[in-house]
Amino acid sequence: MQLQVMNSPFNQEQAELLNRLLPTFTESQKLWLSGYLAGAASAPLASVLGVPSQQGSIEGTSSKEVTILYGSQTGNAKGLANKSKTTLEGKGFQVTVSAMSDFKPNNLKKVKNLLIIVSTHGEGDPPDNALTFHEFLHGKRAPKLGDLNFSVLSLGDSSYEFFCQTGKQFDARLEELGGTRLYPRFDCDLDYDEPAAEWLEGVISSLGEAKGGIPLQTQGISAQTVESTYSRTNPFRAEVLENLNLNGRGSNKETRHLELSLEGSGLSFQPGDSLGIYPENDPELVNQLLGELKWNPEESVTINKQGEVRSLKDSFSTYYEITTLTKPLLEKVAKLTGNSALQELVNDSNKVKSYLEGHDLLDVIRDFGPVNSSPQEFVELLRKMPARLYSIASSLTANPEEVHLTIGAVRYQAHGRDRKGVCSIFTAERLQPGDTVPVYIQHNENFKLPENPETPIIMVGPGTGAAPFRSFMQEREEIGAEGKSWMFFGDQHFVTDFLYQTEWQKWLKDGVLTRMDVAFSRDTAEKVYVQHRMLEQSKELFQWLQEGAHIYICGDEKHMAHDVHQTLIDIIENEGSLSREEAEAYLADMQQQKRYQRDVY
């Protein structure tokens, strides 16, 4: 029996819920419920049915105050937090937004409605500005949170083994401490706009305020935002002004200096921000993939929920990610192909982890094909191609309406095939002056020059890690900053790989840069890196820290940034005559004060 809305006192949503629920009842359950409703209609239904009462949650959510805490490395979580604030305030809520590093953990006991928006960094680690709060919440001092209602939005990349790990940890720990979920945790992949919007809509509904008003996307959490005409979801097509190779003849490396025009975009940025580029896949790889799939390159497929139609070739070239594999993708392909060997692979965590490194979609089709599906079914398994973020290498003050980047071309061999970095080779081999490329600005509040231009700064940036420090120097030159500055730069060879050498030398000569130490690892019998130069200058470096210097690290996280971090602790321990624990606390305190900032990848 179906309940008809026109013949009942229920609205459409209630009727649909009842029509889903009623067929699941046994006859005895129906009789019991009819008796209960006839004689005890005033009692709380949930308690009589014997299910856990949500009364505490409902009472808690009646509060109009909402606290949003974000943990963000590149700025995505912060952007979503601020947009969520705008949407919630439009619904009549009083909203407080804070970085986790700025939030006093002891105030957690006073919060009734908490939204956590957090990314996962590196190998399942919290972002830098979430470390302290994460440690507190998972420690013995964490309070009981029986009055707390919460929900978690987790950002991550499913190509990593510990996808959305930090968000999962916060979600589990808040429940452990007695909190009640307002709405289930959402784990977002790189293309997070739609799931983030769905999550916020669910949160608002749970808070009791969703009454069908303005559609969520117009509130600014997805689609285009009111802050800027151009954004991550609506990129600006920037014209290429210059594309140069910074390395000398005979170098093992190719590092491109890319200058783009922002004229007419209205986009602005500060030193420390990044630029997102939407690249195109290698045409040769696209042709090989289409050949292996044996599909007509001109066959049309629908690529998104908006119903946009493109040819297969265009879709593989500009819309879908085909070079990076994820475990969820392999699982979907295994179901689609019915290939037992692929199914066996995805069921073995060690084997699948090994396969994900260095293989791409073409390998999967060659190793486990053919694909027994339509092109439309197949493309629906794929991720949208994410933008690639690069630290901006110029100051807008020094170069109005321009943005400069420093991009290392990635080429390597794996599993018997030549491999190419999607965006780095797109820029190195296929972008010419006069071409245009889709870009947007990614603001990064976690990597900023000190507000006081007299504050000393120490910069550590080997290779392309020098990019944001070129921006820092241009900015400080323009504003006449008088604070001391010290640059540690490293690469392979002095003659061929000293990126922006003449600019650094000019800044040294003019006093914009106080001192510079360099490490060229292949010019000496024993390899020397930036951390070795830091140790050589440990006494003076510690003196700068004692004087209040800010220190910045940019570059590879797994090796360089890790080694530099350990070296800093060594220097503080030895020069400050501190224990290891005290030295670690000293650096953690610097991080809390935003005097130690990292832009690592």
- Judged against a pLDDT cut of 80, whether residue 63 lies above it is answered with no
- Which residues, at least 6 apart from 482, have a Cβ–Cβ distance to it below 8 Å? 453, 454
- Judged against a pLDDT cut of 50, whether residue 44 lies above it is answered with no
Q: Report which of 563, 242, 541 is spatially closest to residue 393, judged by C-alpha positions.
A: 242
Mean pLDDT of 262-287: 97
pLDDT in tens, 3-25: 454 445 555 556 566 666 665 55
pLDDT in tens, 468-524: 999 999 999 999 999 999 999 999 999 999 999 999 999 999 999 999 999 999 999
- Which residues, at least 6 apart from 214, have a Cβ–Cβ distance to it below 8 Å? 90
Q: Is 71 helix (H, G, I), strand (E, B) or coil?
A: strand
Give the per-residue pLDDT at 19.
Answer: 60
In terms of C-beta density within 10 A (0-12 exposed, 13-18 middle, 19 or more buried), how is residue 11 classed? exposed
Mean pLDDT of 535-559: 96
> How many whole angstroms separate alpha carbon 357 and alpha carbon 327?
11
Mean pLDDT of 183-205: 94
Give the per-residue pLDDT at 30.
Answer: 53
Angle (nearest 5°) at CA 495 between 492 and 499:
70
Mean pLDDT of 530-555: 97
Q: Are strands 457-460 and 550-555 parallel, antiparallel or unpaired?
A: parallel
Q: Report which of 486, 488, 490, 485 is spatially closest to residue 462, judged by C-alpha positions.
A: 490
Of 108-112, 235-239, 473-477, minimum mean pLDDT range: 108-112
- Judged against a pLDDT cut of 70, whether residue 31 lies above it is answered with no
- Which residues, at least 6 apart from 34, have a Cβ–Cβ distance to it below 8 Å? none
> How many whole angstroms separate alpha carbon 539 and alpha carbon 544?
9
Which of 449-480 are b and which e, b meaning 16 or more Cβ less than 10 Å from the residue's Cβ? Answer: bbeeeebbbbbbbbbbbbbbbbbbbbbbbeee
Give the per-residue pLDDT at 160.
Answer: 87
**468: its two tokens:** 């944001």
pLDDT in tens, 243-254: 999 999 999 999
What is the pLDDT confidence band of residue 208, given thresholds at 50, 70 and 90? confident
Give the per-residue pLDDT at 275.
Answer: 98
Percentage of the chain beyond pLDDT 70 is 86
DSSP letter string, 556-588? -IIIIIHHHHHHHHHHHHHHTT--HHHHHHHHH
Give the type of residue at 154: S
pLDDT in tens, 304-340: 988 999 999 999 999 999 999 999 999 999 988 888 9
> How many whole angstroms separate alpha carbon 33 and alpha carbon 16?
18
**Type and span of the H or E element at 516:** strand 515-520
> How many whole angstroms separate alpha carbon 590 and alpha carbon 540?
17
- Judged against a pLDDT cut of 90, whether residue 56 lies above it is answered with no
- Judged against a pLDDT cut of 50, whether residue 209 lies above it is answered with no
Angle (nearest 5°) at CA 43 between 41 and 47:
125
What is the pLDDT confidence band of residue 461, given thresholds at 50, 70 and 90? very high
- Which residues, at least 6 apart from 292, have a Cβ–Cβ distance to it below 8 Å? 362, 365, 366, 369
The CA distances from residue 81 to 130, 170, 447, 529, in Å, are: 14, 16, 18, 39
Residues belonging to the chain: 601
> How many whole angstroms separate alpha carbon 455 and alpha carbon 287?
54
**What does residue 205 show for φ and ψ, rounded to 5 degrees?**
-60, -40
Where in 27-163 does DSSP place strands (E)? Answer: 65-71, 94-99, 113-119, 149-155
- Judged against a pLDDT cut of 60, whether residue 137 lies above it is answered with yes
- Judged against a pLDDT cut of 70, whether residue 149 lies above it is answered with yes
Which domains are present in the chain? 5-53 (no CATH), 58-219 (3.40.50.360), 236-279+387-442 (2.40.30.10), 283-379 (1.20.990.10), 457-600 (3.40.50.80)
**437: its two tokens:** 């490329």
Rg (CA), the chain: 27
- Judged against a pLDDT cut of 70, whether residue 217 lies above it is answered with no
Give the per-residue pLDDT at 372.
Answer: 85
Contact 368, 362 (CB under 8 A): no
- Judged against a pLDDT cut of 60, whether residue 195 lies above it is answered with yes
pLDDT in tens, 544-555: 999 999 999 999
Alpha helices in 220-275 (DSSP H): none
**509: its two tokens:** 């000569």
Percentage of the chain beyond pLDDT 90 is 79
What is the pLDDT confidence band of residue 43, given thresholds at 50, 70 and 90? very low
pLDDT in tens, 373-416: 999 999 999 999 999 999 999 999 999 999 999 999 999 999 99
Give the per-residue pLDDT at 270.
Answer: 97
**Type and span of the H or E element at 402:** strand 402-408
Contact 520, 493 (CB under 8 A): yes
Give the type of residue at 549: A
Torsion of CA 304, 307, 313, 318, to 10 degrees: -50
> How many whole angstroms separate alpha carbon 154 and alpha carbon 103?
19
